[in-house]
Amino acid sequence: MPDTYVASGGEFNRDTNYITTRITADGRDGYPVEPGRYRLIVARACPWANRAIIVRRLLGLEGVLSIGFCGPTHDQRSWTFDLDPDGLDPVLKIPRLRDAYLKRYPDYPKGITVPAIVDVPTGEVVTNDFAQLTLDLSTEWTAHHRPGAPQLYPEPLRAEIDEVSKRIYTEVNNGVYRCGFAGSQDAYDAAYDRLFTALDWLSERLSGQRYLVGDTITEADVRLFTTLARFDAVYHGHFKCNRQKLTELPVLWGYARDLFQTPGFGDTTDFVQIKQHYYIVHTDVNPTQVVPKGPDLSVWLTPHGREELGGRPFGDGTPPGPTAEGERVPAGHGAGAG
């Protein structure tokens, strides 16, 4: 999860200075696309990492880009591999993601964030630029996409996808954090108004169309979904984003359920780890570290009726197959867990 800071005026600011090295088809940054060479390190709890998990699955890159899962909590220094035997990533053989950052940058001064891609032969981090990372999976790894992979970033729609995605990032993805980490009443009030203004805009946009841009799922939908999936479980209470719950916003609730019930979205969402992360790690917001039992998750599987708006989730492509062995959300961690 990216670094966070609170400015002196009480307003939350996010550090956005990431490692911008790219893995490309032509290898212009020194890291060419190669099957089996890289490992995507994620945490299911993190919305920014959840995007990468979804895109990798939709595009069918499981066989060429391996994945490593950090646990839902971390300390001041690093995400850790506490879900793995002996607390070591089975491929990189390291206990902390920080080790891969320091392998490339011995004096790395910034936060250790997920998602990150690591070069397996050298053990060095390549990039943690979460926004560019998923775009590159769509555009630079095309030779290795599965047959029927969707066009998540189609060229004719890129300008509109970028425009919509920018507003989603600044006002919604980041907006919930702006509320949750506000250091003053004035900063919180302003953040709250910005967030719900954006959610109202999205409700209006999605009232007459099934997806954000065009008539298929795109990168923009992936970026919005991971925040909506966490809204009632975390952001409504923990981050004080409480004008309404997602379940009380009819258009966005229908849209979120539509995506959740689409292969690649709900089957990558781990509500237990999501709640553990936010409520345990953010001790400044929740000093008791008590994790709430609710909300009821079975509602995610109720009918949404969004098919009436038309649209084709995967365009001319097909849904991804079953989740790969070893990558499934643990039993009881998804919808229906109560």
Of 31, 46, 211, 255, the active-site residue reads 46
Q: What is the mean pLDDT of residues 179-205?
A: 97
Q: Are 24 and 136 in contact (CB under 8 A)?
A: yes
Does residue 177 carry a catalytic annotation?
yes
Q: What percent of the chain is modeled with pLDDT above 90? A: 89
Q: Of 151, 149, 168, 171, whose CA–CA distance to 220 is shortest?
A: 168
pLDDT score of 6: 53
Residues 59, 65: Cα–Cα separation, whole Å: 11
Report strand pairing: 116-119 vs 4-6.
unpaired
Q: Can you tell me whether residue 125 is helix, strand or coil?
A: strand
Tens digit of each residue's pLDDT (9 = 90 or more) over 266-293: 999 999 999 999 999 999 999 999 999 9
79 is in an annotated binding site: yes
- State the angle between helix axes of 219-229 and 47-59 in degrees (0 to 180), rounded to the nearest 10: 130
Tens digit of each residue's pLDDT (9 = 90 or more) over 116-136: 999 999 999 999 999 999 999
* Residue 7 banded pLDDT, cuts 50, 70, 90: low
Does residue 169 carry a catalytic annotation?
no
pLDDT score of 259: 98
* Residue 17 banded pLDDT, cuts 50, 70, 90: confident
Q: What is the mean pLDDT of residues 307-331?
A: 95
pLDDT score of 14: 67
* Residue 16 banded pLDDT, cuts 50, 70, 90: low
Which is it for the CA torsion 82, 88, 89, 95, positive or negative?
Answer: positive
Which residue is associated with the tokens 């993190």?
Answer: 46
- Entry pTM: 0.95
Of 18, 38, 153, 177, the active-site residue reads 177
pLDDT score of 135: 98
pLDDT at 3 over 60: no
Domains of the chain in sequence order: 4-144 (3.40.30.10), 159-309 (1.20.1050.10)
pLDDT at 12 over 80: no
Q: Of 6, 16, 10, whose CA–CA distance to 190 is shortest?
A: 10
Q: Can you tell me whether residue 42 is helix, strand or coil?
A: strand
Tens digit of each residue's pLDDT (9 = 90 or more) over 86-104: 999 999 999 999 999 999 9
pLDDT at 141 over 70: yes
pLDDT score of 76: 78
pLDDT at 297 over 50: yes
Q: What percent of the chain is modeled with pLDDT above 70? A: 95
